[in-house]
Amino acid sequence: MMPNLNGGAVYRKSPLRTTKTGIPVFSETSEYIENYDEISSTHLKSLQESGVNPFMSDVTWTTLDQSTLEMMRRYVQAPDVLLDAGVGLGGLLAGFPENRRYGVDISLDYLEITRQSGIDVCMSLLEELPYESNVFDFVLSTDVLEHVLDFYRATKEIVRVLKPGGLLGMSVAGAGTGKRFNRAYRATVEEMKLGNYEDIIGMVDDQQVTEQLKEWYQESLNV
């Protein structure tokens, strides 16, 4: 087990490598990760040069994040240990400075910035989370699960790292609607497999995305 920055034992395996700034890396690079690196690089370059998100207006982004924060405030308690699965720049966890906060992402550029906010970060795919089981009281995943390579593996891993009775705070973007659909689930593996997946499908209003999710999900069940 690898100790975290606070001296605990949150990681169940050693990283493949550690960056010069101390970020543990648990996943090998791939075409999928390289593609996301290009997206995050474009995002950060635009923010640095003009302060503008090139993918979404500031008003829309702020509105979406506010709806997610309202959902989180209904459920997160002061002593809870939090994980943002797909943490990005850490904006959502920034609203909970009194909690122990962890973030995982596949963009090291994002993580270099997020770690400066006091969030304990690592680089990993959601399908192979490096954390010990039963660690987190609340796992947040916003606009991520519709993009993962293997939906079932990713959600199974999220459930594994949740404490018994823990909550998954999940949001899925409604394509083209400017809305984010937020739900919180007291999750078990079977609920994720049989119930909550159908909720996700129902929330995604883009037919192409919906069909892709179904295809990935069915493939993952056959493995």
Cβ-based neighbours of 81, under 8 Å, separated by 6 or more: 99, 100, 102, 135, 136, 137, 138
The pLDDT tens digits for 171-186 are: 765 544 444 444 444 4
Two tokens at 25?
A: 């890396």
| Distance separating alpha carbons of residues 102 and 118, to the nearest angstrom | 9
Kindly report the CA angle at 125 between 163 and 159, in degrees rounded to 5?
A: 20
Please, are residues 143 and 65 in contact by the beta-carbon 8 Å criterion?
no
* Rounded alpha-carbon distances, angstroms, from residue 41 to 45, 68, 75: 6, 25, 33
Extents of the domains making up the chain: 25-221
- Looking at CATH, the fold of the domain delimited by 25-221 is given as Rossmann fold (3.40.50)
pLDDT at 48: 78
Largest pairwise CA distance in the chain = 47
104-146 confidence digits (pLDDT tens) = 999 999 999 999 999 999 999 999 999 999 999 999 988 888 7
Instruction: State the first-to-last Cα distance of the chain, in angstroms, to the nearest integer.
Output: 28
